[in-house]
Amino acid sequence: MATDRVLTVPNVLSLARLGLAVVFFAAVERPEPVAAFWLFLVAASTDWVDGWWARRFGQVSRLGRIFDPLVDKVLVCGAWVLLAARDGGSAILPWMALVVVVRELVVTAVRAEMERIGRDFSAALVGKLKMVLQCAAVALELAARAWPGWQPGGVDPRLAATWTAWAAVVATVWSGVEYLVAARVLVARGAGSPPGE
């Protein structure tokens, strides 16, 4: 059950992730790809930590159910937009960033309405896969920029980033459609708990 508590460890971690996201954006713009790479890894990892903490210690809150995914979207959407805008060699293309941003805006609006009427839209498997792929694409793109010519195990990070970005786009569209269908069914039937993000 979600509580009305605001000052919880997961919420503090989400707030810290928002601050790290701002610093990360600045590092991308400077550009400082090495710093951006590590900042992104730390920020993204706090998402897993706050989710685990909330479940493990019973600190799931109504604020956290909205604030946590919102901060995730700020971090990921910002990363995709900034990396797509850098240069023509990016694995993340502008239209890909647009797909990600539009999906997140639509899902956030639907999630907010469902939460308003008391419906729990927790993340489904495809939504979690989408998040992993989006973060992996960003990390690989940043690694390619931070360490040009580095090919661990003979694998080019930029090529890996390209394939991962395409996979992330597919998962993004898939999860968005699944989310909207689930919301439509919920509204139509007035019952049930559809898969979330």
Q: What is the pLDDT of residue 92?
A: 92
Average pLDDT (101-119) is 78
Picking from 74, 82, 77, 72, the residue whose alpha carbon sits closest to that of residue 30 is 82
- Gap between the terminal Cα atoms of the chain: 19
Please state, rounded to an integer, the average pLDDT across all residues of the chain: 82
**What CATH superfamily classification does 9-189 receive?**
CDP-alcohol phosphotransferase transmembrane (TM) domain (1.20.120.1760)
Select the more confidently predicted residue: 72 or 134. Answer: 134
Domain extents in the chain: 9-189
DSSP letter at 64?
H
Span 156-186, pLDDT tens digits: 888 999 999 999 999 999 988 888 887 776 6
What is d(CA 119, CA 193) in angstroms, rounded to the nearest whole number?
A: 7
